[in-house]
Structure 1
């Protein structure tokens, strides 16, 4: 279970290439500099005491300003104590409330020469340390369980995050066509993940072509039914804020539709990899098997995998909207009203179109695998 196998030469080449590419992308300028934060610094601080005299409580809602006495715990101002402010706008999803002993992420505004603190605002509870601990624990368990495969999976995980943060999102903000850009990014990520895990062999090739066929189908259906559903991309949280922040040229609808095949691409990869791996194993045990027989084996595996994966998508999407659905139920809203609301319809479109890609990737991968594995 915990045996660490020595990596193959092809794996080392691909891992080296991935590390170099990740480093290049990581240091690639996005074109969006932090000019608004030049005279400020983000620090970790300890709450010493709070003053809630300016906070107005109306039921469970709090508005006003909470005064917080803090001590800075890092940076060049470490140990300095000062008064910071926590503005409450009366919205629980955005407001934070602090007590003595809490650790906070605090923004301190500095003078022009950056030698004096002008003011300080507590932004949120400090979570970076626990996030880093959780990530480290995840990496540890992944490598202990999967060995070299776990190392490759972790590298692909980091590469995916870097690529989305440094290429996809800045590209969308710059006004590049969302659908082609997203397809290109997904193809890049899919190729590295699959070939890292499966290896640069026929199994990896089958899984890649199968995954891309499922993603392409999802993309086409998203474009087709997105138009028929008549849904605007502004239904997603914070989307409309972009339009008011100087990015009125963005096509929010295409960004929303691109998000459909981006979010389902991981599950599509899983299915294509499962079928490709099973066909590779069958062919390795019996290399005299015919194309028809191997295709049938792929279909049988695909049926079992698809049966659970479609439910996985439904649970993933509905779980994020459980509070919204509870509000509708509590108010006695008729089901026909709920299903016709734009943001509910958007999630239905998200789930069903993503599920179509999952269903169709199975036969496509089985057909491609049967042909490639038995091809002399």
Structure 2
């Protein structure tokens, strides 16, 4: 407990020193998002609640917190929020279909030993729970990339007011290309960092490569990473297109009013 308090204090001081007021809001946002996730999990235990609908509501709240609370309500955060919602909506349909077809819901046999003392008949649709887990895993990366593209595109317009919509869109894509590789690798290494113990266990149990790839635990995590990568790839052109359209439309409107 003391270690958690010390690390939290170090994080808070670091964010305040580097980020100032935005750093303080970011620190508070972490706990807001934690509270949203915690409440989402509690409500998911109710068989009468649709986990996917609940997850969509939670993702909207998380997106609002990460964009509007931290960076305040302005044109770039509004565009980033719209891009996030569009990208997530496209992903949701794919996630629900793939989760059901891949049969990755529920627990793998590697986890069965820890669950022997519990009943799995809890009246919850594990297919929807699995889909909800993947949706939750992608929302953070999508929101981060959306604001990371919108913000520099807005700066480009401020420093080059005469830029064309096509050139601005290409600039957004160029920015997105630099973000794509690093963000996808971050998702990939986060998996290996979180499941390093499981991978070592696979080796100790003499799992073949085929056994590892076909295990439910490994497949579920890899599908989550792949959907995260797909979401990041999709949000780049979507955000670039929306930003180029709305920002330049605003610029043209201001010219007509003068």
Q: Same fold (TM over 0.5)?
A: yes
Mapped pair 1:200 → 2:82: no
1:234, 1:252 within 8 Å by CA — same for their partners in 2? no
Which position in structure 1 is the counterpart of 2:207?
Answer: 333
Query: Once the 2 structures are TM-superposed, how far is the Cα of residue 326 of structure 1 from its aligned partner?
Result: 2.3
Which position in structure 2 is the counterpart of 1:172?
Answer: 44
Pick aligned residue for 2:14 from 141, 144, 165: 141
- 3-state DSSP class of the match of 1:232? coil
| Equivalent residue pairs, number | 247
- Relative to the length of structure 2, the TM-score reads 0.88
Pick aligned residue for 1:155 from 10, 28, 32: 28
Change over 3 Å in CA distance of 1:323–1:243 after alignment to 2: closer
| Unaligned residue ranges in structure 1 (runs of 5+) | 1-127
CA distance in 2, matches of 1:366, 1:237: 42
More strand by share: 1
Q: Deviations over 1:244-270 (max 9, x none)?
A: 28x621112211211112122111111
Q: Deviations over 1:152-177 (max 9, x none)?
A: 11221121112222x31221012311
More helix by share: 2
| Unaligned residue ranges in structure 2 (runs of 5+) | 254-258
Pick aligned residue for 2:232 from 358, 371, 374: 358
CA distance in 2, matches of 1:216, 1:241: 37
CA distance in 2, matches of 1:248, 1:196: 36
CA distance in 2, matches of 1:243, 1:360: 40
CA distance in 2, matches of 1:169, 1:240: 19
Which position in structure 2 is the counterpart of 1:221?
Answer: 94
Change over 3 Å in CA distance of 1:188–1:243 after alignment to 2: farther
Query: Once the 2 structures are TM-superposed, how far is the Cα of residue 237 of structure 1 from its aligned partner?
Result: 5.7
- 3-state DSSP class of the match of 1:234? coil
CA distance in 2, matches of 1:240, 1:229: 22
2:105, 2:129 within 8 Å by CA — same for their partners in 1? no
Q: Deviations over 1:75-118 (max 9, x none)?
A: xxxxxxxxxxxxxxxxxxxxxxxxxxxxxxxxxxxxxxxxxxxx
Query: Which structure has more RCO (C-alpha within 8 Å, separation ≥ 6)?
Result: 2
Pick aligned residue for 1:244 from 119, 123, 146: 119
1:203, 1:276 within 8 Å by CA — same for their partners in 2? yes
- Relative to the length of structure 1, the TM-score reads 0.62
Q: CA RMSD in A?
A: 2.2
Q: How does 1:1-376 map to 2 (within 5 A)?
A: 128-165=1-38, 167-175=39-47, 176-235=49-108, 244=119, 248-375=122-249, 376=253
Change over 3 Å in CA distance of 1:198–1:243 after alignment to 2: same
1:168, 1:181 within 8 Å by CA — same for their partners in 2? yes
